[in-house]
Amino acid sequence: MALELKHITKIYDNGFQAVTDFNLSVKDKEFICLVGPSGCGKSTTLRMVAGLEQITAGGFFIDGVRVNDMTPRQRGIAMVFQSYALYPTLTVYENMAFGLELAGFDQDVIRERVQQTAAILGLTEYLDRLPKNLSGGQRQRVALGRAIIRHANIFLMDEPLSNLDAKQRVSMRSELVRIHRNVGATTLYVTHDQIEAMTMADRIVVINLGRIQQVGTPKELYFHPKNLFVAGFIGDPPMNFVKVHLEGDEILYDDGTFRFSASPFSEDYKKKLANRGLVMAYRPEHVWWEKPAGCDEKDLFVFKSKVEVTEMLGDIQNLYVMNGTSKAVLKSTPDKIYPVGSEVTYFVKKQDLHFFDADSENVIEDAENRD
């Protein structure tokens, strides 16, 4: 089912405005992640969609029908919460069948649905077990099963993996994507974990302070962030930022420690950069430790830094460095050795640099750098 949130606002009785002018269209069977820091309004938005919170202003539509005043049951929505909320004295089968029994379904129908749902979730061999005899990941699958078994067309998930350990979260991410493909329900998934969002979603909605910052595919958000918040939130480690300004045909660090020629950029783009405070940004993985072959030297920006800390992560190595008075994080291969206090030189291609207006914090687009 298609969902549409039009100018949704939520103001609590104490005057706190949790969500402001929220506009989002969700296609049928689309998997959408709402992502942002704690307290940004993402769970409140999900609860308004579910009918658990009243919408202060705006309209919520399911397949074109306004449902603001409908109860959760009338909306036909299945919700999976952060806690598993399983009945501890009931078996997996009984937990999954409970809602259908309350709704008066025939036992043969219940048995068939439980078996079908258990097969989708890989729970067939666990149907006779109690929740205490299951792992965290298995319990989360039972909680999902209780939602799936209702044959709902809309799934809402509020941080369902947050209680799992790191290994279980990784395996359950792929499980959830597989389940979504099998079931085909329109899904809104809330998380504060941008890695979850990037690996699972068709599109991501980045939220901060109750407002949408950007909506797009994982690739769009990663390569073309619209503002500093999105640039700093998406990516691990996040983008490196440094305050600069354009002076003549040079880009200068505000602290005066570095300067680069602005000649690689078009005259039109330099006009956009002129006469304003700038934040220059680049991702830790978009650095080159040697001049890249086949790249015109004029399109390379050269940085010299001092190593402060190194972080060995197995397949990669993070370097925390100082560029003048600015900090940066760089990615390198694990075989290289970077003594603390040593100086390093690295290169960033012109197309991997982003510039943001220091006041508005919005990106300053360079038409030549768009994919």
Cβ-based burial of 338 (10 A; exposed 0-12, middle 13-18, buried ≥19): middle
pLDDT, position 285? 94
pLDDT, position 371? 52
DSSP helix/strand/coil, 234: coil
Residue 261: CB partners within 8 Å, gap ≥ 6?
Answer: 249, 250, 251, 298
- How many structural domains does the chain have? 2
Helices (H), 201-346: 218-223, 228-233, 267-273
CATH number at residue 196: 3.40.50.300
Domain match, 273 and 309 both: yes
Domain coverage including residue 205: 3-229
Euclidean distance between CA atoms 264 and 340, whole angstroms? 33
pLDDT, position 368? 66
**Residue 309: strand pairing partners:** 320
pLDDT averaged over 10-residue windows placed end to end, the chain, 371 residues: 96 96 96 94 95 96 95 87 83 91 89 89 91 87 84 87 79 83 90 90 96 97 95 92 92 86 90 94 95 83 93 93 91 93 93 95 81 52
Q: Taking the mean position of all CA atoms in its chain, how far away is CA 268?
A: 33
pLDDT, position 12? 95
Domain match, 214 and 327 both: no
pLDDT, position 10? 97
CA torsion sign for 189, 191, 195, 198 is positive
Q: What is the DSSP letter of 299?
A: G
**Single pTM value for the model:** 0.88
Q: Which of 229, 261, 289 is the last residue of a domain?
A: 229
Peptide bond into 237 cis (omega under 30): yes
Domain match, 175 and 35 both: yes
pLDDT, position 276? 94
Domain match, 97 and 197 both: yes
Domain match, 253 and 206 both: no
Tokens, residue 186:
């329109």
Euclidean distance between CA atoms 112 and 5, whole angstroms? 36
Q: What is the DSSP letter of 240?
A: E
Q: Which of 198, 229, 260 is the last residue of a domain?
A: 229
pLDDT, position 296? 80
Domain match, 200 and 242 both: no
**Residue 61: strand pairing partners:** 4, 66
Domain match, 21 and 138 both: yes
Residues constituting the chain: 371
pLDDT, position 369? 60
Domain match, 247 and 328 both: yes
Domain match, 203 and 245 both: no
Tokens, residue 13:
């009785």
CATH number at residue 296: 2.40.50.140
Q: Which of 201, 229, 257 is the last residue of a domain?
A: 229
Task: Tell me which residue has tokens 């299951």.
Answer: 134
Domain match, 273 and 205 both: no
Q: Are 351 and 223 in contact (CB under 8 A)?
A: no
Domain match, 80 and 142 both: yes
Domain match, 276 and 127 both: no
